[in-house]
Amino acid sequence: MSSFDVLIVGIGGQGTILASNIIGEACLIEETPIKGVETHGMAQRGGSVESHVRIGGEYGPLIVPGGADLMIALDLLEAVRYRHYLKKGARVIANDHTVVPTSVHMQHLEMPGRDALIADLADFDLTLVDAAGLAAEAGNLIVQNVVMLGAAAPSFPLKPESLEEAVRRSVPPKTLDLNLKAFALGREAGLKKD
Amino acid sequence: MVKRYLLGNEAIAHACIEAGIDFASGYPGTPSSEVVDTLRAQKEREFYIEWSVNEKVAFENALAASWCGLRSMVTMKHVGLNVAADPLMTSAYTGAKGGFVVLSADDPYAHSSQNEQDTRRYAHFAKIPCMVPASVQEAHDMMKDAFALSEEVGLPVLFRPTTRICHSKGDVDLAEVSQEHRTGAFEKDPAQYVVVPAHTRMLHKRLNEKQPVVRKAVLDLGYNTTEVRGTTAVVACGIAASYVQEVLPADVSFMKIGCFPVDPAWMEEFVQAHETVLVIEEGAPVVEERLRQLSCGVKVFGQMDGTVPKEGEFSPALVADAMVQAGILQASPFQAPAAPAPDLPPRPPILCAGCPHRSVFYAIKRAFPDGIYPSDIGCYTLGLQLGTVDTTICMGASVTVGSGIAHSGEERPVVATIGDSTFLHTGVQGLLNAVYNNAEMTLVILDNRITAMTGHQPNPCTGETAMGAASVPVSLEALCRACGVQFVETVDPYDFTATLQALKEAKARPGVKVLIAKQACVITARRAKIRRWRYVVDPEVCTACGACLRFGCPALGRDENDRAVINELCNGCGVCADLCPTGAIGKEGRK
């Protein structure tokens, strides 16, 4: 059985690990094997981070460059940084926002504009999501990762109900309503594209 | 049996409580830290857990517990095992009583390490067994067996996961937590535990005599397996075995090595049944060296002939390429990937917005513009990007490298930096040596009260133990004074002016000077619900000079007119307001 490979990318602190945990719970619910790897240590401190998730994966946890079926990018610049991991024409669900890296200010580097970043993703099936706007609508900017997961939900080989149940099992109880709302708003945004 | 989606380190920790662990100690180090962190957070089994001040201390504590009959474990990363190498070598002579597992996590590709050494070499060196898991499930199962193996052969067992085991996740089958508890009791036996030469000579002989027993016990565990299917074969160890299985053709034989020492007769039988063998293992060619000794007439590919890389991390694609090169695969099943996008601004890890270390580094650069800056292992190594980290080798070496440079006739001032946990780990010995030998240097202890880089483990500066019980925090001031330091000053790094002033005072004095820059880690402060006013830029006053941006805080950026803006990452440390020459930065909501 071949796996459905998902790459979650972003900036340390944005919640890629929680997003991958939710996908893992959903796989447990559906009794689908799952493997993955995530970034810890050095790269946590505001650095670029990547999380590999292999749904149905039976062997190693690493996705091979050129092998990912779907990318969830919590930052638009990071989507471009990891695009070589994607299969031709793969789905990309990207946050329509980027945090300017400190290197741009300190080393006077050029920061590509939004249009240039979107053009860099032209070969893929791109959906842009206003994660901050939807998270604010849900009630807190902190749930942008769950908004993005919701937006990606229609592209998963998992039932949206399983993902929703996984959200219930994975987030702190007192933030449950907030996260469920974020997931629902994200899912709506993800469906609109199709 | 229950199935859960777990991190490798979490699965390993759960296996420990299934095995009835009684004692755990360790020093944090990526990728090993979550094992003890998981153990101290779990509620299913009670036992003794500590974060020790360094790996040697942790090792000797756990070894003693094993001598008392307890099931014990010590955790560290590969470079930490260098610190514990002294007791490790002799512990093979004294042996273990209760199961004693030494977890040393390797980091191929040095994701967050200073080198790529292979822990399996230490097991061979010490003549003890070593277990190398190939998946999260296997890491779980092996850890349980490691305790039993240690008791069976009476030796410490090295457990060597790699980063892609520790930090990979999978659906793992777990078993029941053991309810059996042992009480430790030390039985005096000087011939076993006092390694004076007369005893040592006997103990070494006994260790050598154990080796055939060890090889048999390892083979019987069943982690070394073979499947004969043709005349060519792939031999793999650890996570590389998972990569091989993903691409292995159906007519190619496979040998998987999960546990050392490997029985030579068993390996020879397999090798001799083939014409061509490819060995794939991350790190050192440990299996390959053994296999080549037994391979008479068989063509062997591996690291030693250049088919497989000698450094870095493997992947399914790399493994497939090696199989193509060895003639085992016709072509790689993976398409050639597109090149990464060029010229993107890098996003390396940086000190957090509001991190107190940033201000100290900035002040050091001001007070000692021509300084030499030896530094150490921790978050603050990221001061590299601020130009204030000139050397880093290993834990505690900032002080010793600093005093070495100072004694070398170098005229420029030496300013070394070290974190609180690293100072207590192996920095303090360097300090007392520097003072006693009259070095000329300034040491800045970046004291954020916690071991932040590895995930906020408490240390003796924190004032609480691994289990959260209150304890007496060490006085760094008193400790430094007891080492003989005459100038010891404590400053709040959020007070930039005072920090700068104290550094200038230190500069004016002779000998070893210590500045303790004390302020809680910004992440622990936030978790403790300490809230500070955020800062904002007044666009009317800002002249777009860029002075604040040179500070390198991720909360600072530019607007479309190049004027400074402060984003939502601001933690309210206020240092940028001190640095702004026009006074354009102030607390939010106040004029």
User: Are the Cβ atoms of A66 and B315 closer than 8 angstroms?
Assistant: no
Angle at B191 between CA B189 and CA B196, to 5 degrees: 130
Average the pLDDT over each of A38-52, A57-71, B87-101, B541-555 and give the range with the smallest value.
A38-52
Classified as helix, coil or strand, B562 is: coil
pLDDT of residue A194: 47
Please indicate whether, in this complex, the C-beta atoms of B345 and A110 are within 8 angstroms of each other.
Answer: yes
Give the pLDDT of residue A41: 65
Q: Which of B4, B10, B169 to mutate to test the interface with A (most CBs of A within 10 A)?
A: B169
Instruction: Check if B382 contacts A (Cβ < 8 Å).
Output: yes
By the 8 A CB rule, do B214 and B153 touch?
yes
Ranges of residues in chain A whose predicted pLDDT is under 70: 1, 41-44, 193-194
- Give the residue-averaged pLDDT of B289-297: 95
User: Given pLDDT bands bounded at 50, 70 and 90, which one contains residue B335?
Assistant: confident
- Give every CB contact of residue B104 below 8 A, 6+ residues apart in sequence: B32, B75, B76, B77, B78, B80, B81, B119, B122, B158, B159, B160
Q: Do B339 and A100 touch (CB under 8 A)?
A: no
pLDDT one-digit tens code per residue, A150-169: 999 999 999 999 999 999 99
Calpha distance B157→B149 (Å, rounded): 7
Which of chain B's residues have a Cβ under 8 Å away from the Cβ of A36?
Answer: 168-170
* Cα distance between the two ends of chain B: 63
In this complex, how many residue pairs, one in chain A and one in chain B, have their CB atoms less than 8 Å apart? 169
Question: CB-CB: which of A39, A65, A104 is closest to B317?
Answer: A65
- Interatomic CA distance for residues B299 and A176, integer angstroms: 60
Nearest-angstrom CA–CA distance, B412 and B365: 13
Give the largest Cα separation in chain B, rounded: 84
CB atoms < 10 A from the CB of A167, how many?
24
Tens of pLDDT, residue by residue over B227-271, are 999 999 999 999 999 999 999 999 999 999 999 999 999 999 999
CA angle B300, B304, B310 (to 5 degrees): 130
Mean pLDDT of chain B: 96
Say if the Cβ atoms of B348 and A48 lie within 8 Å.
yes
Residue range B349-358, pLDDT digits in tens: 899 999 999 9
- The nearest alpha carbon in chain A to B564 belongs to A105
Per-residue pLDDT band at B589 (split at 50, 70, 90): confident
Q: Which member of A28, A38, A78 has the closest CB to residue B167?
A: A38
User: What gap in Å lies between CA B503 and CA B416, rounded to an integer?
Assistant: 12
What is the DSSP secondary structure assignment for residue B236, as one 8-state letter?
A: E
| C-alpha distance from B432 to closest chain A C-alpha (Å) | 30
Q: What was the pLDDT predicted at B385?
A: 86
**From the CA of A114, how many Å to the nearest CA of chain B?**
13
How much is the ipTM here?
0.95
The pLDDT score that the predictor gives to residue A2 is 84
Nearest to A106 among B351, B550, B567 (CB): B550
Q: Chain A partners of B112 at a C-beta cutoff of 8 Å?
A: 40-43
For chain B, positions 498-517, list CB contacts with chain A under 8 A: none
CB-CB contact of A35 with B168 (8 Å): yes
Q: Tokens 């020492």 appear where?
A: B261
What's the whole-model pTM score? 0.96
Rounded Cα distance between A14 and A36, Å, is 18
Mapping DSSP onto H, E and C, the string for B315-356 reads: CHHHHHHHHHHCCCCCCCCCCCCCCCCCCCCCCCCCCCCCCH
Instruction: Tell me the shortest Cα–Cα distance from A110 to chain B, in angstroms.
Output: 7
Q: What residues of B are in contact with residue A100 (Cβ under 8 Å)?
A: 345, 557
Looking at the complex, report in whole angstroms how far the Cα of residue B408 sits from the nearest Cα belonging to chain A.
33
Nearest chain A Cα to B33, which residue?
A41
SS3 A35: strand
User: DSSP letters along B233-270, please?
Assistant: EEEEETHHHHHHHHH--TTSEEEEE-EESPPHHHHHHH
Cβ B349–A42 below 8 Å, yes or no?
yes
Percent of chain B with pLDDT over 70: 100
Alpha helix stretches (DSSP H) within B370-495: 397-406, 420-422, 428-436, 476-482
Classify the C-alpha dihedral B263-B264-B268-B269 as positive or negative.
negative
**Arithmetic mean of pLDDT, B362-391:** 96
pLDDT for the residue numbered A192: 75
8 A C-beta contact, residue B402 and residue B414: yes
The CA-based angle B371-B374-B376, given to 5 degrees, is: 145
What pLDDT is attached to residue B591?
A: 53
| Tokens encoding B142 | 């092996």
Give the residue carrying structure tokens 């010995």: B429
Contact residues, chain B, for A39 at CB < 8 Å: 167
Which two three-digit tokens encode residue B91?
């512990």
- Which helix or strand (DSSP H or E) is residue A186 part of? helix A176-192
Reported residue count of chain A is 194
Contact B74, B58 (CB under 8 A): yes
CA distance B416 to B399: 6
CA atoms B129, B134, B136, B137: torsion sign: negative
CB B520 within 8 A of CB B451: no
A92 forms beta bridges with: A71, A126
Q: How far is CA A73 from the centre of its chain?
A: 5
Asked if A103's CB is within 8 angstroms of B346's CB, the reply is yes
Cα separation, A60 vs B516, whole angstroms: 46
Q: Over the stretch B458-515, which tens digit does the pLDDT of each residue have?
A: 999 999 999 999 999 999 999 999 999 999 999 999 999 999 999 999 999 999 999 9
pLDDT band at B7 (very low <50, low <70, confident <90, very high): very high
**Do B520 and B449 contact (CB within 8 A), yes or no?**
yes
Q: Which of A20, A39, A63, A64 to mutate to test the interface with B (most CBs of B within 10 A)?
A: A64
CB contact under 8 A, A105 and B556: yes
Exposed (0-12), middle (13-18) or buried (19+): which is B44, by Cβ within 10 Å?
exposed
Q: What is the mean pLDDT of residues B285-298?
A: 96
